[in-house]
Amino acid sequence: QKEVEQNSGPLSVPEGAIASLNCTYSDRGSQSFFWYRQYSGKSPELIMFIYSNGDKEDGRFTAQLNKASQYVSLLIRDSQPSDSATYLCAVRDNQGGKLIFGQGTELSVKP
């Protein structure tokens, strides 16, 4: 059973701080990794995707991938109350393009 693990939280950070969200996966052959944000009652929204080891930055968001250790993380700099949501990590299954989702980490940014 291929698995994606996330700390369910809630993770609480003060406004302006860096939020760090982590995800580990079991399939060593995985090649594609995605972070989605989901507000309560809404659908998942793609934030970042990363395919290569290292860091990928997009505005206040940085995705970090370490395939040797089988983890992927998402850093949110200068966190805002509007960043309060559940963040879903997803790993592509090498068979057929399916995504395997973690349970999500709830982030709360306090003003």
Tell me how far, at minimum, the Cβ of 65 lies from other proteins, in Å: 15
Tell me how far, at minimum, the Cβ of 14 lies from other proteins, in Å: 28
Is there a contact between 19 and 83 (Cβ–Cβ < 8 Å)?
yes
Which residue in 7, 20, 22, 32 binds other proteins (CB under 8 A)?
Answer: 32
In the range 49-68, which residues lie near other proteins by CB under 8 A?
A: 49
Residue in this structure with the two tokens 């805002």, named with its chain if needed: 80
Is there binding between residue 91 and other proteins (CB under 8 A)? Answer: no
**Binding residues for other proteins, how many (CB under 8 A)?**
21
Tell me how far, at minimum, the Cβ of 26 lies from other proteins, in Å: 15
Is there a contact between 4 and 89 (Cβ–Cβ < 8 Å)?
yes
Beta strands in 1-111 (DSSP E): 4-6, 11-14, 19-25, 33-38, 45-50, 54-58, 61-66, 71-76, 85-92, 99-101, 105-110
Question: What sections of the chain are H helices per DSSP?
Answer: none
Which residue in 10, 12, 16, 45 binds other proteins (CB under 8 A)?
Answer: 45
Is there binding between residue 29 and other proteins (CB under 8 A)? Answer: no
Separation of CA 14 from chain center: 19
Q: Which residues bind other proteins (CB under 8 A)?
A: 31-32, 34, 36, 42-46, 49, 88, 90, 92, 96-99, 101-104
